[in-house]
Chain A
């Protein structure tokens, strides 16, 4: 009791300070929640395709008339210098309009872009509404399986090929590379053991994850190369990371801005494409595994490749450079009107090309196009084809073209894939699902209706059961919802899904729990004969322990869920975890201050000192 009296003075100062802090936090969260009142609208951005020869953008008027004639009524068409922005009456039909425009004007590029409709000062703060998940926004979901085993095999074969060429390059006579069951080995005859080390070193600098075991087999020294468990997992991680990056840039090339691409499990990738309604194009581009390599011809030795035109050809197995060094790729046509792909290389690729072409003017160079496909047995096989062999006419540098493309579409796809990067591991689409935009908006309105009803019942009950304290609980509850929405809009990476809305509803239902525990405690204290103000103090103090324990345990489960979850489950876990934070904040902290203020004032009004 004594200590209570002692810190009475500092406690009022602390009280004031925490009062201000609370107000600031609440205000900031409320502001962050504000943009949700202005939902984003999806606009169509139409511009000339960047790499087409003809600038064939129709005028805004023609475009609007065209769309109207297709039954896609235009609400607004804005002419920006190089793009036309169109807003439809029913923005959910944007995907349909996108397809229609593409069919009518093939040389245009149409993107669906979300425009914020909130006041500019909100946008200036960088505040935006909560991101909506696929089930609320409509769109396509893909789950891809990445064939890591295949990638490892490829990598080992490539390392073996390079080992052979390193041996030749270093003129290491008496050293021989040989393929084995789980990789390959390099054998050195007794008189050449000293030449083995530089070969191994060179190879290891190129393939860092490869493990070497050297042994003496009689007089022959052998170095066995294979993937250790550790090296394998490092390699897998690298491949998955590379695949994710490539897929992301491919999706960007498709003009989808709000896509969610994430790893799911060890070897799967989940791609959510909101707003996309026709998955065919996305599927063709995302699943494509095409890659390009440039090779030197070999008369003796070398590896046999099939020619697209028929027949076979022998090439040096190590490419001069690969598609990875391509900076940009555009489509064009050659003098006979056949489609071609113009390439520009990065520094490394440019140097390789420059050095090679300078030394080999007049000699042929082969372009090899490789693609993974599934054979009849369902196995993934790599198919490599020489699409063209051309004589090097001059000293080439970082810009040149690949001719002899099958069709315009093939050229366009190849250019896109080269721009976005190729996949090192074959991927297969194992799951595909389309959610219609109408279903999405229906989900939102149903979810909101459920939220309103649930909240209404709770508010009414609390007001009737606890009267004055109930009002405080209700204010806390409304502040809780505002703070939660604000927090969800503020944090990047939070996506609201349908289960997320359910989580929101549940949070509201459970948020009153905090207040109920406290109020019941206060009632108990009152029954034991404490004065109102003291009962409130005591009630909050006693209940704090219980509330702390209850919320910590739920938080543990929410965090573990967030860690392993994905898609809808992750959305739910986020809502649950953030809901716990805000409900403790508003239920304990805010409502404590509210009830103290309320009773302090009332106490003064009644002419009684509250802490008497």
Chain B
């Protein structure tokens, strides 16, 4: 008896320390986000599009590495034929200087001998309106999920899950801001996947907490012990699923090449912090807000019982 109590206490201490760590990381992320901002890709910012032809056919990869030497910013080169290319680059003031560098380099190089056909500013793929709409939809999704969880579980567990979710998103964004990795449409898609993943983890822990709280004989145990037990019994599952998902994401990172690099980095981080937050936040926060077996005793009347027993 004493043994389990001690174990429980140790687990609780670990959880609270993890939560403290999370809080510090969130603060750091918010700090870099406000200081450095995100490095939005061309999908969001728009930029300059330059079309040029070369006097003889040039391999795309060779040209790519040649221009990379003469270009400081980020750019995207596509081939439209053996000797016809398009280059997209960011619009900021400093890169206009760069763009002249690479343009003079390709036009003066004897092997490439390029001729610039046109250079024009193009708008973003994502309009402002759509970006706002996207943020609104994300917000709606969160509210919808929170409502669902509040009905299915208990509002404290629902709040825990959603706070964990926001925590995951902020940390991933913070990492992207800190390392200034390009934030494009695919990274946005991965953020959306993280929402799904993070909720999944939190729900499975929350589900077990609910189950243990409802068992009458557990009334004597403190909520902290019950939460610890719930985490312990779902830990193997959490680790295995995170492990296999991480393995698949890692294989995308390794093999799928540059277009999905940002996507893989975002998901990888998201899964790691998601697993962490499902234990340290989603399960711990309800305890702080006063979750106890009593919440369920009162609630389980005939009507709620049928709701809870839904398959």
Q: How far is the CB of A380 from chain B (nearest CB, A)?
A: 15
> In the complex the two chains form, is B244's CB within 8 Å of A569's CB?
no
Which residues of chain A (487-528) have a CB below 8 Å from chain B?
498-499, 501-503, 505-506, 508-510, 512-513, 516-517, 520, 524
Contacts of B133 in A (CB 8 A): 265, 564
With contacts A432-B49, A432-B122, A549-B207 known, is A568 near B189, CB below 8 A? yes
From residue A576, how far is it (CB to closest CB) to chain B in Å? 7
List which A380-394 residues lie within 8 A (CB) of chain B.
none
Q: Are A509 and B193 in contact (CB-based, < 8 A)? A: no
Decide if B252 is an interface residue (CB 8 Å cutoff): yes
* Residue among A446, A502, A561 with most chain B CB within 10 A: A502
Nearest A residue to B205, CB-CB: A546
Q: Is the CB of B127 within 8 A of A264?
A: yes
Q: How many angstroms between the C-alpha atoms of A516 and B186 in the bound complex?
A: 29
Say if the beta carbon of A38 comes within 8 Å of chain B: no
Binds A, one of B15-23, B101-109, B137-145, B284-292: B137-145
In contact, B311 and A548 (Cβ under 8 angstroms) = yes
Q: Which of A47-55, A310-318, A448-456 contacts B (4 or more CB under 8 A)?
A: A448-456
Residue from the set B149, B186, B244 with the largest chain A CB neighbour count within 10 Å:
B244
Nearest chain B CB to A407 CB, angstrom units: 22
CA distance A503 to B247 in the complex (A): 14
Per-residue CB contact flags for chain A residues 400-431 toward chain B (1 = under 8 Å, else 0) read: 00000000000000000000000000000011
- Known A-B contacts A442-B257, A554-B199, A558-B196; the reply to A450 vs B129 at CB < 8 A is no
Interface residue A465 (Cβ < 8 Å from any Cβ of B): yes
Q: A453-B254, A516-B241, A549-B207 are in contact. Are A278 and B127 (CB under 8 A)?
A: no
CB pair A443–B204 under 8 Å, yes or no, is: no
Q: Which size class do B's interface residues fall under?
A: 35 or more
* B263 interfacial by beta-carbon distance below 8 Å: yes
Q: Which has the most chain A C-beta neighbours within 10 Å: B127, B188, B208, B250?
A: B127
- Bound CA–CA A517/B200 (angstroms): 12
The reply on B256 being an interface residue by CB < 8 A is yes
A546 to chain B, nearest CB (A): 4
Interface string of A163-190 (1 = CB under 8 A from B): 0000000000000000000000000000
Q: Which of B27-35, B89-97, B232-240 lies on the face that meets chain A?
A: B232-240
Q: Are B248 and A458 in contact (CB under 8 A)?
A: yes
Decide if A17 is an interface residue (CB 8 Å cutoff): no
Write out, one digit per residue, whether chain B residues 179-208 have a CB within 8 A of any chain A CB (1) or not (0). 000000110111011011101100110011
Q: From the candidates B81, B141, B267, B311, name the one contacting A556 in the complex (CB within 8 A).
A: B141
Q: How far is the CB of B49 from chain A (nearest CB, A)?
A: 7
**B80 CB, nearest partner CB in chain A, Å:** 5
Contact call B193/A576, Cβ cutoff below 8 A: yes
A505 with B248, Cβ < 8 A, contacts A438-B60, A499-B186, A572-B189 known = yes
Partner of B195, one of A430, A503, A557: A557
Q: Answer yes or no: B218 CB below 8 A from chain A CBs.
A: no
A510 B257 Cβ-Cβ under 8 A: no
B203 pairs with A498, CB closer than 8 A: no
Is A122's beta carbon under 8 Å from chain B? no
B304 lies within 8 A of chain A by Cβ: no
3 tightest A-B contacts by CB?
Answer: A454-B248, A430-B123, A509-B248
Of the A-B pairs whose beta carbons lie under 8 Å apart in the complex, a sample of 10, sorted by A's number, is A433-B125, A447-B260, A449-B255, A462-B244, A498-B259, A502-B189, A503-B189, A505-B249, A510-B241, A561-B141
